[in-house]
Structure 1
Amino acid sequence: LPNESLVYLGDTARIPYGTRSQETVTKFSLEDARFLLQENVKVIVVACNTASALAFASLVKIIKIPLFEVITPASKKAAAISKAKKVGVIGTRGTIFSGAYEKKIREEDRIVKVFSQACPLLVPLIEENEMDPKLLTIIIRKYLRGIKKKEIDTLILGCTHYLIIKEAIGKFLGKDVSLVNPGQEVALTLKDFLIKKGLNSPGNLRPVRKYYVTDLKKGLNSPGNLRPVRKYYVTDLTDRFVSVGSMFLGGEMDGKIKKVSL
């Protein structure tokens, strides 16, 4: 989505979501969504796998603009490309224990066998930037060796953090295992939706990463003469957030970062 920009809200004061109850994750997710609504966005993407798994059903009943979650598009992709009909899923405890991925994958293809594994140490490892190859290999082997023995040919990276260590995961599993990135799949789903609904921003905008607010009252298409603006909102501003955020974006976070209360 090179021509689209979104307001980003990182709930850094209350992460991780993956260890919290469904009630708490739902409460936090509703507060997050209501904050974003104040920015007059045209759609909201629930980019967190845990929030998608535990809170999305409640969100769609309350939030009145289009909502997208990451579970469904990733499940569709995995079910479609798995020739062996064996799919692995890794994620936080909240995501894995919800059974959301298993349910969605089997809705797509009942023949597919799903093997899930919670990986509670991976997020803290990435957050602390502990990228020593030997340590990373040990932790990845600890969690993925069981799934590897099942001879899967597809693995869903069921947490946004895992993209950062995608190469290490791929190296352990081998070249015959396809890795599914839920973020990429939901972006493709969102792109199709925006085009079909005529809500996509025109292609003559200067490409930027992802951060902009569109005013619903003045129309859903961004004017072609505007330069998209990046907006980063966090609930707790720390040096660690800037460091991890830069890893995700592949460069410095040159937009303005603002601490907010929900």
Structure 2
Amino acid sequence: MEAPIGVIDSGVGGLTVAKEIMRLLPNETIYYIGDTARCPYGPRPRHEVRNFTWQMAKALEKKGIKLLVIACNTATAVALNSLQKYFSVPVIGVVNPGARAAIKHTKRHEIAVLATQGTIESGAYEEAIASLSSSAHVVPLACPTFVPLVESGEYKSTMAARIVAAGLQPLKQASFDTVILGCTHYPILQSYIEKTLGKQVTVLSSAEETAKDVQGILAQRGELATGNPQHKFYATGSVPIFKDIATDWLALSNVAVERIQLTSND
């Protein structure tokens, strides 16, 4: 089935998930919306995040997607259940895949979760990890400086390492062997995070497990594509900034990006 896969995020972070889907399923077309004008979602009230997520989802529904990935942990935590009930196509989030990845890799069942304020306050990762392992201990940490760093395009600058090191300072005394990057923006900073935490810690994102879920669902439904992908990207904010980051992260030479205006659900 040649219909596109929809991917939504608060900004450019979901590109980390899109990249993994492209790698695993190279024949699939992705339609992506990044709500860069209203990013970050982490500090926003739950009802606002839910409303914004629905706006993006409905915009992609009109474009005929066959599956929707909420590639934002904060949005997954507040909107996944309601969207799954409403949509006729499958809707998946990134929290459960992230929790699965952490449980697969941890040796001591001591897991640190780095995420936005909204995701941490939701307790979504604690709940997802507890459903997989009753013995796991979770160390949650909100990293509010990380998303603006990525969205600004300054993630390769000299200050990036300092910002990451400062953000991770509260983990100095904590015990853990595995870190789950509970925000899809954070893998863009993964090299800095790994350098700060040391080689003894495994740092994981939800992207690979999420892409496997997409593959499994489409295969089960007999909807895997066989044609040439025609990816489309939409941003609510700056198109040039989004295009620069997408071109860099996805290693694509010709990224088609358009400005999109999202309408209210009211």
C-alpha contact 1:123 1:161 (8 A) present in aligned 2: yes
Q: In the aligned structure 2, how far is the partner of 1:131 from the partner of 1:229?
A: 28
- How many residue pairs match? The answer is 238
CA distance in 2, matches of 1:40, 1:132: 36
Deviations 1:98-145 (A, max 9, x none): 110111001100100000111111111222233466533332222323
Please say if 1:233 is aligned against 2:234: yes
Distance 2:141 2:74 in 1: 14
Larger deviation: 57-66 or 144-153? Answer: 144-153
Structure 1 gaps, min length 5:
206-226
Residue equivalent to 1:154 = 178
| 1:216 corresponds to | none
Moved segments of 4+, more than 6 Å: none
- 2-structure distance, mates of 1:132, 1:61: 40
What is aligned with 2:258?
258
Q: Is the 8 A contact 1:90 1:156 kept in 2?
A: yes
Displacement, 1:29? 0.8
TM-score (norm 2): 0.83
What letter matches 2:235 in structure 1? V
Tell me the alpha carbon deviations over residues 214-260 of structure 1, each in whole angstroms, 9 at most, x when there is no partner.
xxxxxxxxxxxxx22121122233422222222331344x1332222
**What is the rounded CA distance, in whole Å, between the counterparts of 2:248 and 2:134 in structure 1?**
37
Pair 1:23 & 2:47 matched:
yes
Q: Deviations over 1:163-220 (max 9, x none)?
A: 1111111111122211111122201111122222222123xx4xxxxxxxxxxxxxxx
Supply the distance in 1 between the matched residues of 2:211 and 2:71 (Cα, whole angstroms). 10
Who is 2:110 aligned against? Answer: 86
Any conservation in 1 of the 2:239–2:257 contact (CA below 8 Å)? no
Q: Which deviates more, 177-186 or 26-35?
A: 177-186
* Residue aligning to 2:78: 54
Q: What is the rounded CA distance, in whole Å, between the counterparts of 1:260 and 1:141 in structure 2?
A: 35
Q: Does 1:193 align with 2:217?
A: yes
Stretches of structure 2 that go unaligned for 5 or more consecutive residues are 1-24
